[in-house]
Amino acid sequence: MTLAEINFDGIVGPTHNYAGLSLGNLAATAHAGDISYPRAAALQGLAKMRGNLALGLAQGFFVPLPRPNESWLEAVAADEATDRALLAAAWSASAMWTANAATVSPAPDTADGRCHLTVANLVTMPHRSHEWPDTLRQLRLAFADERHFAVHDPVPPCFGDEGAANHMRLAAAHQAPGIEVFVYGRGGGAFPARQHEQAGRIVARRHGLDPARVLFIEQNPDAIAAGAFHNDVVAVANERVLLCHELAFAEPEAAYRAIREAAPETEIVVVPDSAVSLAEAVRSYLFNAQLVTLPAGEQALVIPLEAWESGPVRAFLDALIAGNGPIRRVVPVDVRQSMANGGGPACLRLRVVADPGTVDPRFLLDEAKAEAIEQVVAVHWPEQIDPGDLGSEVLERTVRAARGALLERLDLEQLA
């Protein structure tokens, strides 16, 4: 097999809105009640995917989940008096952030030589807790070849699991055996620690990982309290490089030592709090970036415009590139609609190291599919949504028709 890292981005759904449902996600709660622009959001995400294709990277996608979720509305016995937050939860488009779809262990790391995926349960946030059944259907369709993939049910809901956003892999190369790092939280002040330590341990056992090549590292409670609700808001890893904030981990020196002992080739780039404060890192989403390996072998950091426009972040990145370090290029992208809801470039993608030839080709992006998606979005996605529109019969008909048109265009009607 020829293994490559494929980034599967979530197509932003037609119900993209700012209901402010995610406690601890400062951007999401700050923009609660704002008017959203689903069409612009989906086109911004598609432009990022096209940009990755232009960089020579393998790119996939997942389609939006069915919204509003009728089974969720039935479960909460929704009626005219139902709390607006519960109603909004049934309409949430948050599955677009596919970093939370699953945790992925590539074939070189697993005992049976298959790529393993465990769908995340996302139980901490009500609006995300009902995503996993539809996400699981999609994963089992995209990765249906059981000779190469094993797709698992979620871990028990008593252990909160937020997927790849709290998981890092370090290896000499994507196709080489690596170490897998599961980051968990214990406390975060007023905000919940969403990733349970036992969730990572269960996933590691399910995936058949070598215990000697697995690390469990606690996230800094101060980072959670500052709005780093997932580890990927303060750290990002790719092949032999780890880029992290000084305050990312509860015991940083012990974490770095354990990583270097398990993977001596790792280059750890620590961003000092004096250079980029924790607050600025969370605001700009410097670390919620895609750290990728380009075809020529150098690494690039795909960052949101908010990070590129930050004075402290820009100064750090300019010095990093000038210093001839492991990251040789910075690529700014406009995902402002996603950012305003608390998700940057890294949130929008799930990394899967696999042979592209083993993946259902309907989920792999090329320019023809990108053009098809763009045409459907331009015609069918609502131009804007006010949170007060949620529950409207007219909007419901619009968004259901929009998703149906996309599934038909992509030959994925079985996900209807």
pLDDT digits (tens, 9 = 90+) for 277-286: 999 999 999 9
- Contact in structure between 318 and 348 (CB atoms under 8 Å): no
- Contact in structure between 233 and 227 (CB atoms under 8 Å): yes
Single out the catalytic residue among 162, 180, 218, 239.
Answer: 162
What element of type H or E holds 34?
Answer: none
- Contact in structure between 349 and 8 (CB atoms under 8 Å): yes
Single out the catalytic residue among 230, 244, 245, 246.
Answer: 230
Single out the catalytic residue among 244, 280, 347, 380.
Answer: 347
E strands, 318-364, where?
327-333, 349-354
pLDDT of the residue at 155: 98
pLDDT of the residue at 224: 95
> How confident is residue 84, by pLDDT bands cut at 50, 70 and 90?
confident
- Contact in structure between 19 and 32 (CB atoms under 8 Å): yes
Please indicate whether residue 230 is annotated as part of the active site: yes
Tell me: pLDDT of 1 over 80: no
pLDDT of the residue at 21: 87
> How confident is residue 27, by pLDDT bands cut at 50, 70 and 90?
confident
Torsion of CA 334, 340, 344, 348, to 10 degrees: -100
Q: Enter the tokens of residue 53.
A: 């294709």
Torsion of CA 306, 309, 312, 316, to 10 degrees: 90
E strands, 91-211, where?
102-105, 115-119, 149-152, 167-171, 178-184
* Residue whose C-alpha is closest to residue 287's, from 353, 238, 336: 238
pTM over cut 0.75: yes
Mean residue pLDDT across the chain: 96
Domains of the chain, CATH where assigned? 4-415 (3.75.10.20)
pLDDT tens per residue across span 373-385 = 999 999 999 999 9
Torsion of CA 219, 224, 226, 232, to 10 degrees: 70
Please indicate whether residue 280 is annotated as part of the active site: no
Please indicate whether residue 115 is annotated as part of the active site: no
Residue 70, classified by CB atoms within 10 Å of its CB into exposed (0-12), middle (13-18) or buried (19+), is exposed
> How confident is residue 193, by pLDDT bands cut at 50, 70 and 90?
confident
Residue type, 154: P
Cβ-based neighbours of 353, under 8 Å, separated by 6 or more: 3, 4, 5, 6, 104, 106, 107, 108, 115, 169, 174, 175
Residue 343 phi, psi dihedral angles, 5° rounding? -135, 125
- Contact in structure between 76 and 325 (CB atoms under 8 Å): no
Average pLDDT over residues 327-348: 96
